[in-house]
């Protein structure tokens, strides 16, 4: 297959993946609704420690919810959907086509990124209604956060595909949801790492959800500063997860 043919095959598969994503109505609704519900809940109910700079709670919550959206869509939704496609033989049939495996994985990732664009817009709109005032303004803040959102999308899509290509569908269903809950509660997404016990915060700081949430907080929180070590760590995770997925992913 020539590069031009591979590119056309990738675009065709990307259109199919986008269509399939749009048709998963219940899954899409949950993917879009849960981050919004958590955003409203934690921004209005005083359960979390107040921001250290004295701002609104939503200013501290919104960056973490953006990270949560990336994790849930890439790791959970993509991982589980791909695992069941593999179990039902869909990927085996695609594996017999001229479509390169890397193009299939890239097409699935592109469909997730398209969903995440909608998620980010909805989260920004609802957060603005709650009084969100990020560093640089809402538009400027989101634009500044785009590199971290994209890098996080690549890392968590690769993580979901890594599970889907190596484990049975039922195992992916349980494991992806379990990892999601651990990341949600102890990964620095909702509760910042500096409010967690050191025995939890130190190991969690090396994991991709904490690094993504930290980068988004550094970009979006008033007075926040991006830590280069977190950027390097998330980039390293993305490269390692992509490499592992390309090396181990099986279609049957």
- Tokens describing residue 168: 């049975």
pLDDT of residue 99: 78
180 touches 75 (CB < 8 A): yes
- Mean pLDDT (whole number) for 4-14: 79
The full DSSP string for 63-101 is HHHHHHHHHIIIIIIIHHHHHHHHHTTHHHHHHTSSS-H
Residues 248, 162: Cα–Cα separation, whole Å: 7
The full DSSP string for 21-67 is HHH-HHHHHHHHHHHHHHHHHHHHSTTSPPPTTS--HHHHHHHHHHH
- Mean pLDDT (whole number) for 109-137: 94
How confident is the model over 200-234, as pLDDT tens digits? 999 999 999 999 999 999 999 988 899 999 999 99
Predicted confidence (pLDDT) at residue 55 exceeds the cutoff of 90: no
Instruction: Give the range among 54-58, 176-180, 209-213 with minimum mean pLDDT.
Output: 54-58
- Mean pLDDT (whole number) for 179-204: 90
Predicted confidence (pLDDT) at residue 1 exceeds the cutoff of 70: no
pLDDT of residue 3: 72
Predicted confidence (pLDDT) at residue 52 exceeds the cutoff of 80: no
Residues 252, 250: Cα–Cα separation, whole Å: 6
């Amino acid at each position: 297959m020539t590069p031009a043919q591979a590119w056309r095959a990738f675009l065709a598969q990307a259109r199919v993946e986008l269509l399939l994503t749009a048709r998963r109505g219940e899954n899409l609704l949950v993917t879009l609704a849960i981050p919004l519900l958590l955003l409203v809940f934690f921004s209005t109910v005083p359960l979390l420690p107040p921001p250290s700079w004295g701002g609104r709670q939503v200013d501290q919550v919104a960056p973490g919810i953006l990270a949560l959206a990336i994790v849930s869509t890439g790791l959970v939704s993509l991982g589980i959907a791909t695992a069941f496609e593999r179990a039902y033989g869909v990927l085996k049939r695609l594996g017999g086509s001229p479509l390169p495996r890397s193009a299939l994985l890239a097409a699935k990732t592109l469909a997730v990124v398209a969903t995440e664009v909608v998620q980010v817009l909805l989260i920004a709109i609802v957060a603005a209604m709650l009084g969100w005032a990020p560093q640089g303004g809402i538009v400027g803040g989101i634009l500044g956060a785009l590199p971290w959102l994209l890098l996080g999308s690549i890392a968590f899509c690769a993580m979901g595909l890594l599970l889907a290509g190596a484990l049975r569908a039922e195992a992916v269903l349980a494991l992806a949801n379990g990892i999601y809950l651990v990341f949600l509660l102890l990964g620095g997404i909702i509760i910042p790492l500096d409010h967690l016990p050191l025995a939890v915060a130190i190991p969690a700081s090396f994991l991709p959800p904490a690094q993504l949430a930290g980068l988004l907080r550094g970009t979006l929180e008033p007075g926040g500063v991006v830590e280069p070590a977190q950027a390097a760590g998330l980039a390293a995770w993305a490269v390692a997860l992509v490499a592992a997925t390309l090396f181990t992913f099986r279609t049957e």
